[in-house]
Amino acid sequence: MPGAELVLRVSVLAPDPATTVVVNCAGRTRSIIGAQSLINAGLANRVLALRNGTIGWTLAGLALDHGQGRRAPEVPAASARQARAAAWAVAGKVGVRQVDSARLRALEDGGRRTVYRFDVRTPEEYVAGHPAGFRPAPGGQLVQETDWFAPVRGALMVLADDDGGRAAMTGSWLAQMGWDVAVWPPDPAGPAEDGPWWPALPPTPAVTLAGPAQVDDWLQAQEALVVDVDTSPRFLGGHLPGAVWVPRADLPHLPGLVSGSARLVLTSADGVLAAFAVADLPPRAAVTVLAGGTAGWTGSGRPLQAGPGGMLSPPVDVYHRPYEGTDVDPAAMQAYLDWEHGLVAQLERDGTHGFTVLTEERGACI
């Protein structure tokens, strides 16, 4: 389960206070945060974090399960109320508060302040329906990767869930990290949306488009070269037959790419990035973008190729974490753990993090 679900669902999973609860993640951070969340919320059970997560498990020579599909069960209403009360008992101590529409407008300061709105529930719940204007950010990931979700420091974070305490518990960690956090209470009569979240994009440039059938004809006649400018993992997972991969940043530095083919067809997952990438090529007439991108190609019933194919640049566009995949070098795993274990000392030398630790005097054990 995502880390923000722990306080809500643990009473259903471990109703006997004599049951020991072990929280695990890939490395260390989320398991520590999750275990401490349960302790802060006053869970009677003994709570442990698995030291070094699945990395430590692997380095100890123990086997991992793969393809796990077990999910936490639904929570009765009474358990959800108890979880909410426990979460707010923690969140209130660090300044998290609820805001209604009027209060939120005041905090926005007439649009002069950056405001992030996050729905911290599970992705499935978000797609089924969410408050209008909120984007998905499962609570544990939001705490773990705040710099990715909310890059503007000093912004206001507004969190929403269905009143089960997940927003309050997530907010308690963000507030300890120095963020200004508010919780948007559920409003069944308020404006709502459903479906996945899509980021706001600038207008797509006007470019020459060609449908899958036309591009297929060009490929069959060897009259075009398809250039995929999406991420290397997506290219490796499946690309148009004969396509080459080039990150967008390298397009201006490959003159042979332009002169070596009568026609270039750019593609990306949905074609949007490819449309922007046309401007990175030297001016030429025969540059076309695959309409609908690679998804449009597969949607027309045409096959993809998998594997490295023609990669004209080294795949340095993505950083692979040492716990991703099944063939990670043990030395890389250990180096990651060494770096993580050194973070506390690093933070002690850094006067800017502003983390506020909950103590027993403030109502929680650490």
**pLDDT at residue 320, as a whole number:** 74
Q: For 108-113, what is the mean pLDDT?
A: 82
pTM: 0.81
CA 182, CA 98: separation in Å to the nearest integer?
5
Q: Which domain holds residue 187?
A: 80-193
Domain harbouring 229, CATH code:
3.40.250.10
261 has a pLDDT exceeding 60: no
Decide if 73 is inside a domain.
Answer: no
**Pair (159, 248) in one structural domain:** no
**pLDDT at residue 187, as a whole number:** 81
- Give the model confidence (pLDDT) of 146-193 as tens digits: 989 999 988 999 999 988 799 999 999 999 999 999 999 888 778 899
**pLDDT at residue 258, as a whole number:** 60
CA 244, CA 240: separation in Å to the nearest integer?
9
Helices (H), 76-199: 77-91, 101-108, 123-128, 139-144, 146-149, 166-176
| Number of compact structural domains in the chain | 2
Percentage with pLDDT > 90 across the chain: 59
366 has a pLDDT exceeding 70: no
**Pair (188, 216) in one structural domain:** no
**Pair (116, 219) in one structural domain:** no
**Pair (173, 112) in one structural domain:** yes
- Give the model confidence (pLDDT) of 340-359 as tens digits: 888 888 888 887 777 777 77
Q: What is the mean pLDDT of the chain?
A: 89
Q: How many CB atoms lie within 10 A of CB 125?
A: 16
CA 347, CA 362: separation in Å to the nearest integer?
22
Q: For 247-259, what is the mean pLDDT?
A: 79
**pLDDT at residue 127, as a whole number:** 96
State the pLDDT confidence band at 363, using cuts at 50, 70 and 90. very low
Decide if 12 is inside a domain.
Answer: no
325 has a pLDDT exceeding 60: yes
CA 221, CA 223: separation in Å to the nearest integer?
5
- Give the model confidence (pLDDT) of 55-83 as tens digits: 999 999 999 888 878 888 889 999 999 99
Decide if 113 is inside a domain.
Answer: yes
Q: How many CB atoms lie within 10 A of CB 304?
A: 14
Mark which of 149, 165, 193 sits at the end of a domain: 193
Order of strands, sheet of 180-184, starting from the edge strand that comes earlier in the sequence = 97-98, 180-184, 156-160, 115-119, 135-136
**pLDDT at residue 46, as a whole number:** 97
**Pair (216, 183) in one structural domain:** no
Decide if 27 is inside a domain.
Answer: no
Looking at residue 154, its amino acid is G
**Pair (302, 265) in one structural domain:** yes
**Pair (188, 267) in one structural domain:** no
220 has a pLDDT exceeding 90: yes
- Give the model confidence (pLDDT) of 20-35 as tens digits: 999 999 888 899 999 9
**Pair (121, 222) in one structural domain:** no
**pLDDT at residue 36, as a whole number:** 94
**Pair (180, 242) in one structural domain:** no
362 has a pLDDT exceeding 50: no
Decide if 352 is inside a domain.
Answer: no
Decide if 325 is inside a domain.
Answer: no
The larger pLDDT score, comparing residue 29 to residue 360, is at 29
Decide if 119 is inside a domain.
Answer: yes
Mark which of 311, 326, 349 sits at the end of a domain: 311
DSSP 223: -
Decide if 203 is inside a domain.
Answer: no
**Pair (169, 232) in one structural domain:** no
The larger pLDDT score, comparing residue 137 to residue 366, is at 137
Looking at residue 311, its amino acid is M
Q: For 78-102, what is the mean pLDDT?
A: 92
Q: For 130-155, what is the mean pLDDT?
A: 91
Q: For 201-205, what is the mean pLDDT?
A: 91
326 has a pLDDT exceeding 70: no
**pLDDT at residue 103, as a whole number:** 85
**Pair (223, 189) in one structural domain:** no
260 has a pLDDT exceeding 80: no
Looking at residue 46, its amino acid is R
Mark which of 193, 224, 256 sits at the end of a domain: 193
**pLDDT at residue 69, as a whole number:** 83
245 has a pLDDT exceeding 60: yes
- Write out the H or E segment, with its range, that includes residue 117: strand 115-119
**Pair (290, 216) in one structural domain:** yes
